[in-house]
Structure 1
Amino acid sequence: MLCGLPFHPAKRAMRDFKYTDQPLSYMLAMQVGNLLRQVQIPHILWGGKMFDLLLLNDNVGTLDFVIPDHLMDNAIRVLRDAHLQDEIETLQNKNCRWLKNKQENVRPLEPWPHHWFHLDPEPPCKDTYCQGHCGRPVRLYLRCHADLVLHRKSDCLWSFPDFTLDDPDYHDPNYMLANDPRLPESEPGDLGRIPDPNCRLQILTPARYIESIITLRARDWLTTDQGEHWYKILLRIFNTHKNRPIPGRCALLGPLLLREPFRKWWSLFLKDVPPFDHDLVVAHLRDIEAGFVELREVLMREGALPETPFTWALKSN
């Protein structure tokens, strides 16, 4: 014991984590999560890995965390100290989408992270060709690039309760652990729930995740592409829900656990319409759009929608 303080070897070990070109994986997500937890920064695993946990198989190439706004600067410092590189243009990260583009040039409009760190999807490679994140052999200077990205809570999950470091209760309607047995069983390739019983990564419950995506599309509805990025996520969930039914997952992604007004619209969105009946399909799509406008109006009356960050892409511009 030093200076009257107890010595905690386990906690010190977590602080020793350094990034050494580990690939994007559940393991890396847990290591980063443990590091943030050690320095008392609550966080939520989001984005592509949320897709993987639900067997939606996204392969976007980002490891996304949502951080409380007031702790963002501290999170950035901690990750830099762990040897994660940010905004450094080198041979290995020339294909970084965030360095190659400007937010105003990204189409369709999609969330631009508050901060990002470059991940090397494979260990350093001296060959002309190597295996990229996408699984295809590509030239070294063109290989797919992965990133660890940080989003501010106010940018994507503004309506949700504050994150805490306490494990969520089993019946918490908003948050759950990424190894929760209600999630689909683990599959090879980092799919399904995280099998590690010691995993303490928190995620949104699937019902709240769907609600958050619907809300984000409602926020961006008046932009030129009407929140196409968010709509594609909802469509991916619909297609998986319909074409690869898994009993437990169907319950998690179905409308029964959603709150109103989301439940009414999600039930309409999931309605099974014969694809060969053109008139029925067209009528269904019109109902979906009309229902979404109605849902958006409800959210606006409740004061639940902030201004879209894509102000340069508003239809009136």
Structure 2
Amino acid sequence: MSKFKYTEHVPFRELIVEVEKVLRVAGIPSVLWDTCLLSTYGVPVHMEIDAAIQALRDVGFSDGQDVPFRCKWQEKKKEEMTRSAPWPAHWFHLHSLPWTPDQEFPEDTYNRMQRGSMHRDLCLHRKSEALWALPDLSLEDPAPDDPNYMLATDPRLPEDRPGFGRGRFTVPGCRLQIPTPTRYTESLFLIVAREWEMLDRGEFWVVYLYYMSEYVYKVSMDEDFISPATLDPSLGKIWKAYLDDNLPVKEYNRKYIVPLREDLISKGALPETAFPWAMRHKEVRA
């Protein structure tokens, strides 16, 4: 069992490094996912969600319903979701940043404001719902030339730069794994194809594709690290067309996303959406 105990606020990056260690000690491989969101997402292997939940409970993470603050997951109902944004398999409440004398507000006012606002959560997602096309994770660190996963400390990742993301991790002892940019981009296309018949046309994930093209491909790192040539050929041509940006959105979707979805369905390679009630129409699969 891990020696770490979650009893107070821990800075974001230090916290998720500790979470990875807790899961590793419990024999559960995990991969960091979706760090641009306010919430922290980890993606344990599908069959090990229950073990991951227990391991985090054992070190002090709280997942109770009776909490003195607002939790967006408790205020929502999955059955009412109409957007393609991910819904966690489980979540834990995180401690808010404690009041300090240099705060703008008195301590009582600050604490009252914290109780009235949404707090951060540590969210667990099943790999089978987010990164199903990637191979299973391992407790071993990925090799430098691993095409699927890499360490979050990899020197090929960008450094922290004002106005951009935080870049690669510099927390001592960090062994966090992330999908390589190539595999993550492929996964985004697959998710967009899966959610294409939802009311929002998978808009949540389309935005992430935009981020990958504008900030990762064009700005943050060597384009050879995420060029169309590094993707699976069927997805590489879709990525190239996306980067070329020569087609209107509707025409691009008709020419690339719809055929991709139909091809995946015909091969039985496209999982069901987690929100079937939010589909535009009922599909009949052959």
**Which interval holds the TM-score relative to the shorter structure?**
0.7 to 0.9
What is the RMSD computed on CA atoms of the aligned residues?
Answer: 2.4
**1:256 is aligned to 2:243:** no
CA contact (8 A) 1:261 1:298 kept: no
Distance 2:79 2:13 in 1: 31
Partner residue of 2:46 out of 63, 69, 72:
69
**1:78 is aligned to 2:52:** no
Cα 1:294–1:251 change in 2 (3 A) is same
Structure that is richer in strand per residue: 1
Partner residue of 1:158 out of 104, 127, 132:
132
Distance 2:172 2:94 in 1: 26
Aligned twin of 2:167: 192
CA contact (8 A) 1:186 1:195 kept: no
Q: TM-score, normalised by structure 2?
A: 0.87
Residues 192-240 of structure 1: per-residue CA shift (max 9 Å, x gap): 0012463211110011011111111111112222211111211222332
CA contact (8 A) 1:45 1:65 kept: yes
Distance 1:144 1:182 in 2: 35
**1:38 is aligned to 2:25:** yes
Question: Gaps (5+ residues) in structure 2?
Answer: 101-106
CA contact (8 A) 1:206 1:252 kept: yes
Aligned twin of 1:101: 76
Q: State the shift of 1:89 in Å.
A: 3.1
Q: State the shift of 1:307 in Å.
A: 1.4
Q: TM-score, normalised by structure 1?
A: 0.79
Partner residue of 1:245 out of 219, 224, 245:
219
List structure 1 segments (4+ residues) > 6 angstroms apart after TM superposition: none
Aligned twin of 1:128: 109
**1:88 is aligned to 2:65:** yes
Q: Which amino acid aligns with 1:304?
A: A
Cα 1:316–1:104 change in 2 (3 A) is same
Distance 1:70 1:287 in 2: 37
Distance 2:51 2:141 in 1: 22
SS of alignment partner, residue 46 of structure 1: coil
Q: State the shift of 1:285 in Å.
A: 4.5
Aligned twin of 1:276: none
Distance 1:119 1:251 in 2: 38
Aligned twin of 1:265: 238
SS of alignment partner, residue 167 of structure 2: coil
Q: Identity over aligned residues, as a percent?
A: 39
Aligned length: 275
SS of alignment partner, residue 143 of structure 2: coil
Residues 165-218 of structure 1: per-residue CA shift (max 9 Å, x gap): 011111111011110111112347971001246321111001101111111111
Distance 2:20 2:168 in 1: 16
